[in-house]
């Protein structure tokens, strides 16, 4: 069969990324232009600034990617973009650029769901077998999904309040650690001990998650200690928080794998770059005889390679979009 090359664009938040993916699993070239340095000054992503920077960078990043791959736009079999969910103004830049390429080169346009991208980051350099259960842990989502096949998504549970990445970022702010919070909380936790008592997180029969209680608990704890004139041990609090949220992920995931008798587990999303979470879920999977897949860390946080991998699945099923497609801020995997 002829090789299929897809040029994919990701611009849903604060990374302008372009990738060329061969046959859905080979990363030919990926460029990630991060805006972190700019947003750090504001303590978080400023949507208007993000879309402006995407606009300034998109052409350059496309060209850089083509140069790295030593390919040209006419070599592509399709053009893919993230069209949802994410920041509307940011998404629009990638969507419109990709539409233009698809129109000019008369090749299919593949509008790709960002969350599907996170899941299929697991396909890069890897083969998957179904059925499987997938856990997405990102800045906006914490979803446990049953996949009977490569294009079927049954939500088993989701967060009822904050996403886990959001909780990491808020705890970082409480501890006065710079944006982006998640990696910094992980760094502090590495040399800490779980000495602070954490609340019992919702341990019900559902597969849903909740992270706002622990976030408020950390906030109150720091506030009370400051009022008493006590110093907070940031390493120990980061470690206590991380242990607590990780147990929550492990407990719910284990319950779902056992209840549905599923033997393959996928981890994905920006928070999946966290070594403690990776190792804890892996230990649980080993204990119950489940095969676990997780993307390389560079494919966990936002990148266009994962969009190219997901787009290839849509390409195979001929799920193409026309030029009327628009960016959307909120959608599920089944919309």
Instruction: Write out the residues near ligand KG4 by the rule CB under 6 A.
Output: 13, 138-140, 165, 168-169, 180-183, 186, 269-271, 273-274, 301-302
Q: Whose Cβ is closer to Zn ion: residue 121's or residue 256's?
A: 121
Give the one entry of Zn ion, ligand KG4, none that residue 274 binds, where binding means its C-beta sits below a cut-off of 5 to 8 angstroms depending on kind.
ligand KG4
Q: Whose Cβ is closer to ligand KG4: residue 94's or residue 165's?
A: 165
Binders in 294-323 for Zn ion, by CB under 5 A: 302
Nearest approach in angstroms of CB 23 to ligand KG4 is 24
Task: Report yes or no: 159 and 144 within 8 Å, Cβ to Cβ.
Answer: no
For residue 143, state whether it binds Zn ion (rule: CB under 5 A).
no
Please pick, from the candidates 138, 240, 253, 280, the single residue that binds Zn ion as defined by CB under 5 A: 138
Q: Whose Cβ is closer to ligand KG4: residue 27's or residue 186's?
A: 186
Task: Report yes or no: 260 and 133 within 8 Å, Cβ to Cβ.
Answer: yes
Closest CA relative to residue 299, chosen from 333, 272, 264: 272
Nearest approach in angstroms of CB 248 to ligand KG4 is 14
For residue 35, state whether it binds Zn ion (rule: CB under 5 A).
no
Nearest approach in angstroms of CB 14 to ligand KG4 is 9
Give the one entry of ligand KG4, Zn ion, none that residue 165 binds, where binding means its C-beta sits below a cut-off of 5 to 8 angstroms depending on kind.
ligand KG4
**How many residues bind to Zn ion according to rule CB under 5 A?**
2
Nearest approach in angstroms of CB 292 to ligand KG4 is 18
Binding residues for Zn ion (CB under 5 A): 138, 302
């Amino acid at each position: 069969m002829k090789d299929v090359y897809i040029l994919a664009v990701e611009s849903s938040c604060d990374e302008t990324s372009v990738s060329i993916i061969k046959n859905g699993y080979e990363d030919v070239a990926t460029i990630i232009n991060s805006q972190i340095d700019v947003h750090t000054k504001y303590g978080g992503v400023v949507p208007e600034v993000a879309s402006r920077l995407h606009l300034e960078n998109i052409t350059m990043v496309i060209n850089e990617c083509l140069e790295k791959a030593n390919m040209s736009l006419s070599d592509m079999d399709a053009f893919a973009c993230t069209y949802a969910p994410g920041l509307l103004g940011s998404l629009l830049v990638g969507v419109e650029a990709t539409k233009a390429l698809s129109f000019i080169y008369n090749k299919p346009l593949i509008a790709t769901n960002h969350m599907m991208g996170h899941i299929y980051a697991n396909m890069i350099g890897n083969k998957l077998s179904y059925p499987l259960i997938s856990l997405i842990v990102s800045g906006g989502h914490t979803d446990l999904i049953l996949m009977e096949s490569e294009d079927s998504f049954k939500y088993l549970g989701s967060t009822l309040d904050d996403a886990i990445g959001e909780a990491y970022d808020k705890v970082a702010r409480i501890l006065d650690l710079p944006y982006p919070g998640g990696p910094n909380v992980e760094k502090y936790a590495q040399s800490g001990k779980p000495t602070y008592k954490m609340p019992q997180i919702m341990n019900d029969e559902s597969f849903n998650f909740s992270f706002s209680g622990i976030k408020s608990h950390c906030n109150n704890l720091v506030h009370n200690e400051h009022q008493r004139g006590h110093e907070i041990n940031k390493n120990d609090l980061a470690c206590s928080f991380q242990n607590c949220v990780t147990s929550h992920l492990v407990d719910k995931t284990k319950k779902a794998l056992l209840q549905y008798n599923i033997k393959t587990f996928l981890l994905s999303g920006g928070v999946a770059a966290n070594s403690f979470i990776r190792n804890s879920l892996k230990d649980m999977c080993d204990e119950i005889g489940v095969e676990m897949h997780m993307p390389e860390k560079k494919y966990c946080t936002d990148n266009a390679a994962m969009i190219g991998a997901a787009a290839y699945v849509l390409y195979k099923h001929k799920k193409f979009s026309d030029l009327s497609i628009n960016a959307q801020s909120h959608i599920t995997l089944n919309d």
